[in-house]
Amino acid sequence: MLDTLLLFLQRTAPELVQGTKITLQLALIALSLGILFGLPAALARVYGGVIARRLAIGYIELFRGTPLLVQLFLVYYGLPDLGLTFSRLFAASITLGLNSGAYQAEYFRGAIQAVGSGQMVAARAVGMSRLQAICYIILPQALRLALPAWSNEAVSMIKYTAVVFLIAGQAKILAGRYFNPIEVYLSVALIYIFLVFVATQIMGGIERKMRTPGLEMEIERH
Amino acid sequence: MNDETIIRVEDLRKSYQESEIIKGISLTVREQEVVVIIGPSGTGKSTLLRCINLLTRPDSGRIWLKEQEITAPHTDEDKVRQHIGMVFQDFNLFNHLTALQNVTIGLTKVLRMDSREARDKGLWELERVGLVEKAASYPAQLSGGQKQRVAIARALAMDPDVMLFDEPTSALDPELIGEVLGVMQKLAREGMTMLVVTHEMGFAREVSDRIVFMENGYIVEEGPSRQMFYAPKFTRTREFLGKISELYGENRPGEMQ
């Protein structure tokens, strides 16, 4: 029994390692893109004019309101019909990034609003411009407040990549090839647990490092 | 006292939605003068201060800071605010920065002073409010009175032409009021030009040169503090002064600690 499992792992290891690499790559790119889309969207929602605010809300609601699987299928199979073709990894990264950005925008918005309007007024009273106040006073506080929610997003994102594999499917191929679907999915689950554990440790470390008296916020994990 | 006018307000008006908060106010503050604005809550005292440093845009009327009309179109508001210090009722210290960083951030980011020079200046300003030993503390680690003194140091660091105080002791526990009033009294003695909204009648009587009594968006009466306290022209002023002294007692500016 043990022999079979070891033999199985030996045969599938290279492909599982390859899959893990892609998982990490996808998660990192998607999370970074998420900040890139999410932070401006949050700022637009809080500080923007009518048009900027509506655009931000439109983007956020579009990506939060539709299932990730549907978004991925549309980008994979829908856009090529319109003449737009992407590499699979690229399409998956963009979609996950846009999706994550919508959620991150809401985390950032909550954090910016939690900082309170008095901070902005005080910053302006010292002679800062709006942009300076946002950069030096609001965001340093908001990002600290957003960290717990953001760690949550990082963990979710690692797991979301599994949905990509459902479509692009390393594990499915393996499972089909070796006829041991349970072992394959178990190995995959273990790898995910390990990745999430490492990510949680890293985020916990960052949270501890950034801790400032008076700027802690408890956010429920889900 | 010097005769140079630091702030001149002319026929200022401001409405929020339907209700007019400030109904045509004119006011002058001269160099080194300490002017205290008193009056019932909701009569536009805070709004007046916020208009003066352009945190709120007045609907009409004009304001001058020294020779510059700051209500003129194309005025660089950020530049104007660098010359007007403001102290808030609820302190509004920057929560992610230490006491010293609170004082220096305006110097480094707005005035582009180099960090070494800013640090020296920051420590000196903290010394002025008696808090140099708290330089490394975060706002959450300070008492209300200490927070307000740091906020005063933060405003002073910009070397403003005038300091605006918006009920600086109203959010403080009674035993912490004295230390803040003490700092303000010291500033007044050093010749700082100050416009103070407060209910502290002890401070008004002992420190101010002039008292302005505001009600319902108008200035009812203004005059030298002695005259306002002992021989006000209007019964309404006398009534208010009597009531407010009874309500708030007469905290005298305490000694520096």
> DSSP assignment of chain A, as one string?
-HHHHHHHHHHHHHHHHHHHHHHHHHHHHHHHHHHHHHHHHHHHHHH--HHHHHHHHHHHHHHHHS-HHHHHHIIIIIHHHTT----HHHHHHHHHHHHHHHHHHHHHHHHHHHH-HHHHHHHHHTT--HHHHIIIIIHHHHHHHHHHHHHHHHHHHHHHHHHHHHHH-HHHHHHHHHS-HHHHHHHHHHHHHHHHHHHHHHHHHHHHHH--TT--------
**B139: which DSSP letter?**
G
Residues in chain A with CB shorter than 8 Å from the CB of B111 are 127
Q: B-side interface with A, Cβ within 8 Å?
A: 53, 55, 78-79, 81-82, 84-86, 88, 90, 92-96, 105-106, 109-111, 138-141, 151, 154-155, 158
Please report residues of B whose CB lies closer than 8 A to that of A141. Answer: 94-96
Q: Check residues B187 and A182 and name the one with the higher pLDDT.
A: B187
**Choosing among B52, B95, B164, which should be mutated to test the A contact, i.e. which has the most A CBs within 10 A?**
B95
pLDDT digits (tens, 9 = 90+) for B232-257: 888 888 888 888 877 766 666 654 43
Half-sphere exposure of B225 (CA within 13 A, CB side): 17
Q: Nearest Cβ partner of A122 from B92, B141, B158?
A: B92
User: For the whole model, what pTM was predicted?
Assistant: 0.84
Q: What is the pLDDT of residue A22?
A: 82
pLDDT tens digits for range B82-137? 999 999 999 999 999 999 999 999 999 999 999 999 999 999 999 999 999 999 99
The ipTM value here is 0.91
Domains and CATH numbers, chain A: 2-221 (1.10.3720.10)
Closest residue in A to B137 (Cα) is A213
User: Nearest 5 degrees, angle CA A27-CA A19-CA A14?
Assistant: 150
More confident residue, B133 or A62: B133
